């Protein structure tokens, strides 16, 4: 069935132009190679950005407020450079809160007590399935000062970023609305570029067709952002992909119908062939990009 569709589209637009469009996908594969590995499925992550960090060495950990048996020991005393700072963290327990890396988690948590400097801030990365849904921040400095965030936050995204200001002891996260807007702008621009190139390959005059091309793509990108990015943002790449596949089939149908009606030049068969080709290429590149997100 796929082969027959490819032959039909190639017959409409010309073999050379069809394979030039397909070549875009393969070029992307070589630019962004995907390596196979064990445990390759996407895992949650958390980036903690520390503003106004201490001017001396310190350790940072996530505070969790749950207890459990058979906890995973994520960081050992013999593996750190300052055992005395480790001991301060290990012994901390206030109102049920305890450090996750040094006291353990129900499932593995990857991370380091030491961050990396990026300009005026320090960045701490945590990953894997042990990332807590609710957490606070604790910092222990080399002279054993303890800084704890005044508030806890609920992790909103599969890949989250949190900000901890040492001067105010406030912990915050990115705005979900801002994340949606940023994602829409990025994906919409990418789609317009990719499908615009396909439009040219199909020899449609952009001056005559830019308005329906723009309006139809903005409409379908709003649908995608509202559904796919929400699933990906809150539940990860796999859920985003499971949402994306059936929605893309619907979008192909919608765009084929609208482009056949509103594009000028050429036959309806050619307009439909453009819609199918553009969406297949855009979908393939989007899926590849999702796994590099």
- Describe the crossing of helices 2-13 and 15-31 by its angle, rounded to 10 degrees: 120
Select the CATH number that applies to the domain covering 45-173 from these four: 1.10.3470, 3.30.450, 2.50.20, 2.60.40. Answer: 2.60.40
Instruction: Give span(s): CATH 2.60.40, the chain.
Output: 45-173
Predicted local confidence at residue 167, as pLDDT: 94
Predicted local confidence at residue 66, as pLDDT: 85
Predicted local confidence at residue 234, as pLDDT: 67
Predicted local confidence at residue 287, as pLDDT: 82
Closest to 183 measured CA to CA, from 145, 229, 130: 229
| First and final C-alpha spacing in the chain | 32
Predicted local confidence at residue 267, as pLDDT: 94
What single DSSP character describes residue 134?
E
Element (H, E) at 161: strand 159-165
Closest to 202 measured CA to CA, from 130, 268, 135, 129: 268
**Positions of the chain with pLDDT under 50:** 1-15, 18-19, 21-40
Q: How far apart are CA 270 and CA 27, in angstroms?
A: 25
- Contact between 126 and 161 under an 8 Å Cβ cutoff? The reply is no
Predicted local confidence at residue 263, as pLDDT: 95
Distances (CA, A) of 151 to 65, 136, 140, 164, 173: 13, 7, 17, 10, 12
Predicted local confidence at residue 236, as pLDDT: 66
Q: How far apart are CA 100 and CA 73, in angstroms?
A: 9
């Amino acid at each position: 069935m796929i082969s027959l569709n490819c032959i039909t589209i190639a017959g409409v637009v010309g073999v050379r132009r069809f394979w030039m469009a397909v070549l875009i996908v393969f070029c992307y594969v070589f630019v962004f190679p995907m390596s196979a590995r064990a445990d390759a499925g996407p895992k949650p992550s958390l980036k903690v950005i520390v503003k106004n960090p201490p001017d001396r060495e310190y350790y940072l950990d996530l505070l969790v407020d749950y207890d459990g048996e058979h906890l995973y020991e994520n960081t050992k005393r013999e593996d750190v450079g300052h055992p005395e700072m480790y001991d301060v963290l290990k012994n901390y327990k206030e109102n049920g809160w305890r450090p996750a890396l040094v006291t353990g988690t129900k499932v593995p948590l990857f991370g380091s007590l030491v961050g990396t400097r990026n300009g005026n801030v320090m960045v701490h990365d945590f990953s894997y399935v042990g990332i807590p849904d609710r957490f606070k921040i604790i910092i222990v400095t080399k002279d054993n000062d303890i800084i704890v965030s005044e508030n806890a936050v609920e992790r909103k995204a599969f890949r989250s970023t949190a900000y901890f200001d040492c001067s105010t002891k406030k912990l915050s996260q990115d705005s979900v609305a801002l994340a949606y807007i940023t994602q829409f702008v990025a994906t919409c621009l990418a789609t317009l570029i990719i499908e615009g190139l396909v439009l040219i390959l199909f020899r449609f005059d952009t001056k005559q067709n830019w308005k329906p091309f723009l309006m139809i793509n903005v409409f379908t990108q709003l649908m995608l952002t509202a559904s796919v990015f929400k699933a990906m943002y809150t539940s990860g790449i796999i859920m985003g992909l499971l949402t994306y596949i059936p929605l893309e089939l619907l979008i192909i149908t919608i765009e084929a119908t609208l482009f056949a009606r509103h594009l000028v030049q050429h036959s309806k068969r050619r307009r439909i062939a453009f819609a199918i080709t553009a969406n297949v290429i855009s979908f393939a590149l989007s899926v590849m990009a999702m796994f590099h997100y």
